[in-house]
Structure 1
Amino acid sequence: MTDLLQVEDLEVALAGGGGEGTVIDSVSFSVAAARTTGLIGESGSGKTMSSMSIVGLLPAGAKTSGRIAWKSENLLDAPARRLRQVRGHEIGVIFQDPLAALNPIQTIGRQVGEILRRGGMRRQEVRTKVLQLLDRVGIPDPEQRIDVYPHEMSGGMRQRVMIAMALAGGPQLIIADEPTTALDVTTQARILKLLADLREQEGVAMLLVSHDLRVMAHVADDVVVMYAGRVAERGPAREVLDKPRHPYTRALANNVPAVSTKTAIAEPLQGAPANPFDRPAGCAFHPRCPIARERCRTEVPQLREAEPGRFSACHYASEVSS
């Protein structure tokens, strides 16, 4: 497999809580061509921050270090003009809330066609291509829908518009940030099938951000489990979800019985997620961990290979699978 994207030792520091804090700490993962890598974790785990670092969409004042390799180019060193070129043309982005992301005073046709116009395509060619994209993502009656405004569409249709926008530039990679969170179960299933079809038929790689393990179980090839801005576990999706090697992953899976029937740790996930600005000493998960020991309270666990192709940042990874 060829990696399209490699994130290596990514760190992001933000001002907050009376000072500056490292909210993303030594995060590494990759996305292979025509495959889907999932970023999993609770709210505040660093999933979105990590994914938005790739395309330069971080809050003002954010400080980054590490390496984000895209076609042998470190995007962390790329100027703003280059990042604008990457966004859309090479890497498409599907945002979590399409109603907030879409411009309420522009028709969907104009918004989907924006990247095409910037590329120099003629007006009639743009309209033809937009109609093709709307049809491709399953929007009925594209000729009627192309001139409507976002508020005139359902949540599921707006999300399909966002997918059409992400596809418009012909990207090799799509970053999808919680693309089904605000949708009902039936619409979620349709959007997930659409994303899976795009990967298979168009050969587009995907970085899928979600807190929903059911989504990952159905869509992802590989997963990266994040907690408090760090990688807790990484590996092939089915192996990680069926046989976790980190107590945090196990607790997440226990809360979703349909994902895995093997529950080596039967206790549900308790307590609140750690604050990346004020992580506990040692393993950030230890205050919530049912197998935590003194070492966990004082020593930060490093991400190590627990078995071939499987990585865990737990001092006692071998016990989690027992």
Structure 2
Amino acid sequence: MMGGRVTAQHPDKSGTADPPHDGPLLRVEGLVVDLPRPDGAAGDTVRVVDGVSFDVPAGTTVGLIGESGSGKTMTALSVIGLLPDHATTGGELVWRGKNLLRPDTDWRRVRGHQISMIFQDPLAALNPSITIGRQVGEILRRAGRPRAEVRHAVIDLLDRAGVPDPERRMNSYPHEFSGGLRQRAMIALALAGSPSLLLADEPTTALDVTVQARILRLLRSIQREQGLAMLLVTHDLRVVAHVADEVVVMYAGRVAERGPAGAVLRRPAHPYTRALAASVPAVRTKTALADPLPGSPATPANRPSGCAFHPRCPLARDRCKAEVPQAREVAPGRWSACHFAEEVFTP
């Protein structure tokens, strides 16, 4: 049950294999997602993801960070084809050279087998009336695993995910697991289809600090061992600093900044990233005091004109209120969507 790098052949449930592909495993290019407004106004939509672009190279971890309502989860759900039925999309999601947003995409061959997801709330994601072992085993059977091998494979997956005494615990129901064990079961479920990309949506939010650290170490270990790529959705910069190679900072449905995680967190090139980093002392220095980010976050439904961050930005000027800034490269591999990025960024 080993996931492979971009050049590996991964059989899907129909027995075919993913062709080798050069370039990033996933390329998100100008992604847009529109949803009907919550008030139900006919013909009126909200652009919850607005022109988002980034790459996920094979074997790397990319962190999607930002406050609530920034569009992180909607971006991840787009990648795995789990948006609401009433959503409309645009742009490209290029997976192994093929745009997943084309109408002919067979999501059944992608979801769970090439791209898997660990959801924020495992108790809601797991079926309460079916044992953990049967749920993991169903994925294996659909992937074409011989029935005689399924039980041993389930035990192996649960063991890799850190579930103690997996031969016994596979017969347990989700409510019989603690929060940490349920998340480990979700990890086993996500790995069952031998994916190349793992999406993790706030995988440690509901756990206490000690269990969070264990789950993050487990994910990092599995990712390195199996050569998986991972797209990690979180609002916690400390998590990103611990596990991510690249980071994409989102605000009100748009990308504010992207680049190598360590460099972005140490030397931000966008006022929003700088404010986020300042609000978490451990991201900067052990002795710095927290400097809370003022104001309330903008959301796609109430996005200000121009740069959405301008009402909270200490550098805001008239241009920021009128003109949406375009992402530009301010240093090799460093991109910022700020009109005055040079005043923030120090190479």
Matched, 1:297 2:321: yes
Distance (Å, rounded) in 2 between the aligned partners of 1:71 and 1:308: 25
- The answer for the alignment partner of 1:98 in structure 2 is 122
Distance (Å, rounded) in 2 between the aligned partners of 1:250 and 1:25: 22
Match of 1:6 among 11, 15, 27: 27
- Structure 2 unaligned residues grouped into runs of 5+: 1-21
Distance (Å, rounded) in 2 between the aligned partners of 1:38 and 1:221: 8
Alpha-carbon shift at residue 78 of structure 1 (Å) = 4.6
Q: Secondary structure at the match of 1:13?
A: strand
- The answer for the alignment partner of 1:219 in structure 2 is 243
- The answer for the alignment partner of 2:187 in structure 1 is 163
Distance (Å, rounded) in 2 between the aligned partners of 1:115 and 1:148: 17
Matched, 1:194 2:218: yes
Alpha-carbon shift at residue 121 of structure 1 (Å) = 2.5
Per mean C-alpha deviation after superposition, the further-off stretch among 112-121 and 232-241 is 112-121
**Amino acid paired to 2:339:** H
1:87-109 C-alpha deviation (Å, 9 max, x unpaired): 11111110010000000000000
- The answer for the alignment partner of 2:102 in structure 1 is 77
Distance (Å, rounded) in 2 between the aligned partners of 1:272 and 1:21: 19
**Amino acid paired to 2:72:** K
Q: What does 1:1-322 correspond to in 2, within 5 Å?
A: 2-16=23-37, 17=39, 18=41, 19-79=44-104, 82-261=106-285, 268-321=292-345
Alpha carbon RMSD of aligned pairs, Å? Answer: 1.7
Q: Taking structure 1 as reference, are residues 2 and 198 closer, same or farther at Cα in structure 2, changes over 3 Å only?
A: farther
Alpha-carbon shift at residue 262 of structure 1 (Å) = 11
Alpha-carbon shift at residue 72 of structure 1 (Å) = 1.2
Alpha-carbon shift at residue 73 of structure 1 (Å) = 1.0
Distance (Å, rounded) in 1 between the aligned partners of 2:319 and 2:33: 27
Distance (Å, rounded) in 2 between the aligned partners of 1:122 and 1:313: 51
Distance (Å, rounded) in 1 between the aligned partners of 2:230 and 2:169: 27
> In 2, are the aligned partners of 1:178 and 1:209 still within 8 Å (CA)?
yes
1:173-192 C-alpha deviation (Å, 9 max, x unpaired): 10000000000000000000
Q: Secondary structure at the match of 2:167?
A: helix
Distance (Å, rounded) in 1 between the aligned partners of 2:291 and 2:143: 54
**Amino acid paired to 1:286:** H
Distance (Å, rounded) in 2 between the aligned partners of 1:123 and 1:150: 23
Alpha-carbon shift at residue 48 of structure 1 (Å) = 0.5
1:272-320 C-alpha deviation (Å, 9 max, x unpaired): 1112023111100001111111111111100111111100001111111
Distance (Å, rounded) in 2 between the aligned partners of 1:261 and 1:312: 23
> In 2, are the aligned partners of 1:6 and 1:68 still within 8 Å (CA)?
yes
TM-score by length of 2: 0.89
- The answer for the alignment partner of 2:15 in structure 1 is none
Distance (Å, rounded) in 1 between the aligned partners of 2:195 and 2:143: 13
> In 2, are the aligned partners of 1:243 and 1:262 still within 8 Å (CA)?
no
Distance (Å, rounded) in 2 between the aligned partners of 1:155 and 1:123: 30
- The answer for the alignment partner of 2:10 in structure 1 is none
Query: How many aligned residue pairs are there?
Result: 320
Identity %: 65
> In 1, are the aligned partners of 2:117 and 2:190 still within 8 Å (CA)?
yes
1:201-236 C-alpha deviation (Å, 9 max, x unpaired): 111110000000000000000000000000000000
Q: Going by fraction, where is helix more abundant, 1 or 2?
A: 1
1:39-63 C-alpha deviation (Å, 9 max, x unpaired): 0001110000001101110012100
TM-score by length of 1: 0.96
**Amino acid paired to 1:61:** H
